[in-house]
Structure 1
């Protein structure tokens, strides 16, 4: 369900089982006549394996993610907003203790084409404007930030990232409760970026990957592009396209007029640190220097730590 193709370690047994599940599922879905087509690995990274089987996508989820009752609630929740989200076609399956879901296939964002910033912004605005069901699960807090920083090794870049992390509010660092007190809550995706969009068979864009769907602060759905823009990685024109479309669509994460950073500052700083930590970890594992965009994210952490704790 994520964009194609990063491959690390396709496990033959699991891959064969996902293909089998896709073909079995296609037999029950009349809109999948191409199920006999050659299967295609769309994504194999970070413990996630996604395989296209005809007009279906079969996803093996990360082993360390919680996929119990809250995930079932997220599946039901996603099905209530079909114009925004792609929901699984049925309940999750258990394959050797791993969670597997089946979705209608959607064409991922093509990085060689004009990127759909406006379409993503409008989808987020629509999601954020949806009435939040009383039983919607909570998004909680951005736990990935602390998790990534905890995985860092040693070195100058690591020290820069850790100093920036120390400036974040305690609740983001996992030291004080689940979130900021009295935060307004909306329905949010929880992990939005352009890789979380596909063009559905009706030609319209949808959001995918619902593991973090729930009640939360919508500013976190804008945090990744805001962080990339602040670091100089995302071009100002693309940021303006995204932010402007979101505001025009009436999204509640930022003011319709005035300074959007009153809402975005802490989420953007947090995602800048998370992205920088991921970049450093990847470079260490691949035994290579940071490339230019990665170094830009580390440099952004330097500016964050120099500014101190603004929260």
Structure 2
């Protein structure tokens, strides 16, 4: 049975813990995927995490978000709530990045928040960052989806990565707190304080599913990969990298060529993106578009 109806009920109860009249708020489904269902009711967001999510690990990740409210959006309760066979967490609604105004993309804010996350001591023991595991799942999905003419270069590029980047061995030892899945969809403007005039709140990182200790370069890898594939303009990459360095981020040297530090993670994110691109194209029975083909071509060059 789908978790969506129960999730909507849970979101309403969290948004109105002591209702004294019928609620006229219109609920919104923000995402409904096998790995995550997210709904909004008034100012509350409820997220049903993937089936099989480890409750102890998720609770530690929530504790980290609560301990770093200047970096991560803080959850509304400290532990997940079981709903049917899923774990549900509750969050204040934050305004996301507007995809229709790419020139206003908050690259500096994203980089600064990452640097602050990477230089914050872990407030509690954390499990490993799940970026490599997510990349490995993307390859598993591609293999299960069936044959595709572009699968061979993606597989070859995957085989060139070190075992830790394929989640086949532990990551290099690190105590750095990492987000694990950084992209602009993981930023929201947090709600402003109730006693302030209406104004955009500060940017915060969201989505703690992959949060953990690990290689901080992984958090810079997606924009680095986009830049290397020609999908992110050089000036936007420069804004992001400069802001990260200015904020003291440890993933790259403070000056000089950042690529030796970023290359492995960027290659892994390129393969992950290409694999998911092929899965979607196979499911829709369509050819790759220009952007998707650029990512596959990058895998071919890597191999």
Superimposed CA distance per residue, residues 24-65 of structure 1 (whole angstroms, 9 cap, x where no aligned partner): 1122499xx99742111111234321111000011111114x
Is residue 118 of structure 2 the alignment partner of residue 124 of structure 1?
no
Where do 5+ consecutive residues of structure 1 fail to align? 1-10, 306-311
Give the SS at the match of 1:62. Answer: coil
Superimposed CA distance per residue, residues 259-298 of structure 1 (whole angstroms, 9 cap, x where no aligned partner): 1111100000000000000001110011000011110000
Aligned match of 1:172:
165
Superimposed CA distance per residue, residues 233-259 of structure 1 (whole angstroms, 9 cap, x where no aligned partner): 111111111111111111111111011
* Rounded Cα–Cα distance in structure 1 between residues aligned with 2:230 and 2:22: 43
Over aligned residues, Cα RMSD in angstroms? Answer: 2.0
Aligned match of 2:67:
80
What is the CA distance between 1:133 and its match in structure 2?
3.7
Aligned match of 1:18:
7
CA contact (8 A) 1:145 1:270 kept: yes
What is the CA distance between 1:197 and its match in structure 2?
0.7
What is the correspondence of 1:148-227 to structure 2 with a 5 Å cutoff? 148-152=138-142, 153-175=146-168, 177-180=169-172, 183-202=173-192, 203-227=201-225
1:139 to 129, 133, 136: 129
CA contact (8 A) 1:22 1:56 kept: yes
What is the CA distance between 1:140 and its match in structure 2?
5.6
Aligned match of 1:284:
282
Paired residue total: 288
* Rounded Cα–Cα distance in structure 1 between residues aligned with 2:88 and 2:298: 37
* Rounded Cα–Cα distance in structure 2 between residues aligned with 1:94 and 1:158: 38
* Rounded Cα–Cα distance in structure 2 between residues aligned with 1:56 and 1:71: 19
CA contact (8 A) 2:165 2:265 kept: no
* Rounded Cα–Cα distance in structure 2 between residues aligned with 1:283 and 1:72: 36
CA contact (8 A) 1:26 1:35 kept: no
Q: Which has the higher helix share?
A: 2
Aligned match of 2:198:
none
Aligned match of 1:94:
82
For normalisation by structure 1, the TM-score amounts to 0.87
Where do 5+ consecutive residues of structure 2 fail to align? 193-200
What is the CA distance between 1:19 and its match in structure 2?
1.9
Q: 1:35 to 1:131 in 2, by over 3 A?
A: farther
Give the SS at the match of 1:120. Answer: helix
Is residue 94 of structure 2 the alignment partner of residue 106 of structure 1?
yes
Is residue 57 of structure 2 the alignment partner of residue 70 of structure 1?
yes
* Rounded Cα–Cα distance in structure 2 between residues aligned with 1:253 and 1:137: 19
CA contact (8 A) 2:252 2:258 kept: yes
Is residue 19 of structure 2 the alignment partner of residue 27 of structure 1?
no
Aligned match of 1:309:
none
